[in-house]
Structure 1
Amino acid sequence: MRPGRNLAAALCAISVSALAAGPTFSHDVAPILYRECASCHRPGGVGPFSLIAWQDAGKRAKLIAAVTARHYMPPWLPSEPHFQHERRLSPVEIATLAHWAEAGAPEGNSAETPPPPQFPEGWQLGKPDFEAQMRAAFDVPAEGPDQYRCFAIPTAPGRDRWVSALDMRPGNPRVVHHAILFQDVTGTARKRDTGAGYSCFGTPGFLPARGLGGWTPGSLPVRMADGVPELLHGGADLVLQVHYHPSGKPETDRTRIALYFTDRKPSRRVMDLPLGSNRIDIPPGARSYKVTDHFTVPVDVDALGINPHAHYVCTQMYGYAVLPDGTRRTLIRIPAWNFNWQQQYTYATPIRLPEGTRVEMEFTYDNSEAYRDYAGAGRRCGRTVADVVGKNDEATRRRSVPAAAEMITGLLVPAVSP
């Protein structure tokens, strides 16, 4: 046999041998977990266990394979389009985790394990220009329904400031489901918050109620789009809306916030485009009840991002843009809505919507006895019409309420010439 053929045969044998050996933690699995899972699943993180070390990940290999195969983890709801900071695995990566679990979760050569990701002890964006926390700790009982509380955080009187970024740090990630930061120029929240916050399911209870940003487990600090910082009015109150869920034992939380300012005034102003229904009245037993809305944009705009929001009996959520030439573009597509993993999304590249574009949304709800949401908490509606934006428990009488919290909000700015 000629030398060239000998070399080719040897390389083929090595390749087959490596394939037969199967994936290992050090060479194949750790890079996936470090990139997509470690922000939550690390010592001190919001995840219930760490996946940094092989000893921790290996004993949960079958669980990892199961939740990734179902696309339940990492938590990422949209199937399209592309957004910044996507948390999704490729089919090859999902198969790698499955094969690793089937093989008994081998460690491999520990020397090949990449360095674990490093997470700063302080604020990820460095020292903030404004830092504050809830005025007092809030006590979360061991059991009972989820709570939505709003906490007023006064700011010092003075000039208006432009916010370029913000970050949040839950005082107790075990009970903080998510948080949203608003500003209140009316003084309403300050009057309602007597020290322990006030109940505020759906909305913070004042208008206008534009959110500055939010926090969900594993999320990164919120950076405003280039050239479009958010205005913080001088002397306005910041209002922190926190969704708490009991952990099974008494807990306390005192969430902190950090703001970063810029002296650069915006070249364009962000506009909210909320699409939703004024009232949602779902017949009992309806398995596929649809709510739609649309709006035609009067000028050329760029869509920067989108904030889909619904509650427990929503199952699917879609948003589209029909351009003047008939082209149909997907703005958001969530085939399996999960209230537990809602967040705001920023497009990888802004989407141009010419004047005359029709923006459409469609929500689908399941109001049947058989439906259970992903939380497994039995939040479903029974014999009567559902109040899908009301309390979490089962509806027992006919109710129909404004559905202000069930909507898709687009973040638009006036278009500029390319």
Structure 2
Amino acid sequence: MARRNQIPHFPSCINLIRGLVKIDRIDRAAKVLKVMVMSGGIPDTITYNMLIGGLCKKGQLKSAIDVLEDMSLSGCPPDVITYNTIIRVMFDLGRFDQAIGFWEDQLRKGCPPYVITYTILIELVCKHCGIVQAIEVMQDLAVEGCYPDLVTYNSMISFTCKQGNVEDTVLVIYDLLSQGMEPNAVTYNTLLHSLSSNGCWDGVDEIFAFMNRTSHPPTVVTYNILINGLCKYGLLDRAIDFFGQMVSQNCSPDIITYNTLLRALCKEGMTGEALQILLYLGGTSCSPSLITFNIVIDGLAKEGYMEKAVELYCHMKEHGIIPDDITHRCLIWGFFRADLVEDAVEILKVMTKRKHRIKNSAYRFMIHSLCKKNKIDIAIQVLELMISSRYRPEETVYSTIIKGVASAGMTEEAIELRQKLIEWKALKEPL
């Protein structure tokens, strides 16, 4: 069309460019864009960014930068996504200095000092070149009028904490303070998470006490971090102390707080206390979730309190919370431990009816256990459920079950199971 001195339909050009990029015809898309611009059309930012993204994926960095340079000339200036895409690919290619120089050049050309791009650049420098160079880059960029904000510093602190590098973390905090900034709740929470994850409780106490003296006192997130860390280290008493302190400070616990404590209580065998807390929650604004019920049901089942576990199971259903496959698995294993195999099979039937996925290993364990207890009729019921499930296994799985039963010295039971499988056409009759 352009060759015949006809002006192309610009919306169609945009659709064509995007379509070509999607099918990886990047060179063709670039040609269509060039024709469109030369004909007076102005592609939108999304189209340019799609093309630049496509070029970057193919490793054509120079072409991507050329397109970026053409954007402003065509009346469509690059945006934060454009810059982020190119900077990321430069780092992917190991061109760290080029990426830093590229952003400095863009700032000199009048590019807005996007904080998001700045933060991404600093994050990448931290990852590939280290904290010391990242701080040097920040100082260089300040000359160009581009300054970090608290989000940038929090990102750097998060990185150093994940690396477990205390010296680098201190260096970043010192730089933050030297800029006249004050750490916020995110800063403190990041530090507390790192310290509690590593069991550095003296450091936790120090920062927590300092946090209480600032304009950013501990939040529910802060307490959840500490309670979770203490519970993971088995320090349940200290976790409960923090919980009490949390309530006394009028910081309302959320369901995450309660779930963390309930899991720790159940792990310590304190299922009675866990059950009391769960029932108490039902009368508060912090209603127990499915996960909450599953935690306590699992705890009760592991301790052998199957009657209480079933009562709680019925209670959750009465209150409109639908049990999932995790709930039912907890009950099944609890029933088996308590030698209540018939009850376990009833739950298995519920799972099959609700189309919950049941692992072949679970079926195998149940059938083997039932045969061991000489309860072949119930084992056959389980086998029938296995065949009727939507996740019907391959024939080799059935063969494995039969061999497992036979190898345990239950030859007659194995023969009976095999015969049933042949009757149901789940196994082929031997020639």
Whether the TM-score (by the shorter chain) exceeds 0.5 is no
Q: TM-score, normalising length from structure 2?
A: 0.18
Larger helix share, 1 or 2: 2
Structure with greater contact order relative to length (CA < 8 Å, sep ≥ 6)? 1
Larger strand share, 1 or 2: 1
Q: TM-score, normalising length from structure 1?
A: 0.18
Which protein is bigger by CA-based radius of gyration?
A: 2
